[in-house]
Amino acid sequence: MSHMNASIGKSAGTWVLTAQCPSRLGTVDVVTRFLKESRCYITEQQSFDDRLSERFFIRTEFRPMDAEFDAGAFQADFAARAGEFDMAFELTAPDARLPVVIMVSKADHCLNDLLYRYRTGQLSIDIRAVVSNHPDLEPLAAWHDLPYYHFPITPETKAEQEAQVWQVVQDTGAELVILARYMQVLSSEMCEKLSGRAINIHHSLLPGFKGAKPYHQAYEKGVKLVGATAHYINDDLDEGPIITQGVDPVSHADYPEDLVAKGRDVECLTLARAVAYHVERRVFLHKRRTVVFTR
């Protein structure tokens, strides 16, 4: 079992201000000074300046000192300051729960892990529906009182099936789609619609093994690490901007079934961490890469 901690969260009662802009003198000051003048106490702050692209990123958690905090007035006043820096920003409330749709096929480990973290409050998400191309996991969703949509897919019905999935995303108001071992390749059109708001998880073995039974292939080659990668989807299969990665050591004493079991653990933890980072506004998409402010 990997020892990575996926119980990531922001401090109770804190707001989150995220922003990015061109690199200029005073970018940190414009944020911290405004918060001080607004009587807001900074509890956590991280920033990064990409010298290659001359782009600045900042994430700040803060707690208002006054009981009556007017978020609308805060945003309007800060917009005037931010405009001087061409700064795009977002303010997230302490009780924000991101609406989510989860897509699955037959494997249940990632879905089960996400549902547990959702039920226990470890992830600030609001799961609106579970969508699958198979009926197998409907009982698991039903146990959590979640709508389950079974949309079978064949090469001939791919466009129709994706239209059904997209309708669920729109009807539920989902702002994030989690591909929790959904074993279908999304079309270019679907990838475009979900750009920046769909997270996928897949195994990440060294050397890379594609096709059927990757863990069995890894066993035959005597690999010493199993891993997983969580990334935003794009039109390049399994090559979207990476959010998180995880690894677990294995040895000659581990048989294929052991590699599969360890792989499942790493996949669950890596996906949970990526979702946590996304919903806590710790991830900035930057060209084909990501800036991730870890905790």
2 has a pLDDT exceeding 60: no
Q: Using an 8 Å Cβ cutoff, are 38 and 77 in contact?
A: yes
DSSP one-letter code for 245: E
- The pLDDT of 77-81, averaged and rounded, is 96
Total Cβ atoms within 10 A of residue 206: 13
Tell me the residue type at 102: I
- pLDDT value of position 212: 77
Name the token pair of 187: 């079309």
176-179 and 198-203 as β-strands: parallel, antiparallel, unpaired?
Answer: parallel
Over residues 10-31, the pLDDT tens digits come to 566 899 999 999 999 999 999 9
CB under 8 A, 24+ apart: contacts of 211-216 = 213/256, 215/256, 215/259, 215/260, 215/263, 216/256, 216/259
Over residues 85-124, the pLDDT tens digits come to 999 999 999 989 999 999 999 999 999 999 999 999 999 9
Q: Which of these, 106, 91, 96, lies nearest to 35 by C-alpha position? A: 91
- The pLDDT of 76-80, averaged and rounded, is 97
- pLDDT value of position 6: 40
- The pLDDT of 148-155, averaged and rounded, is 95
In order of start, what are the domains of the chain with their CATH numbers? 15-92 (3.30.70.260), 98-292 (3.40.50.170)
Q: Which residues contact 11 (CB under 8 A, 6 or more apart)?
A: 43, 44, 61, 63
Over residues 136-145, the pLDDT tens digits come to 999 999 999 9
Question: Which residue in this structure is represented by tokens 């979900």?
Answer: 194
245 has a pLDDT exceeding 50: yes
218 has a pLDDT exceeding 50: yes
Name the band, by pLDDT with cuts 50, 70 and 90, for residue 209.
confident
Active site residues: 238
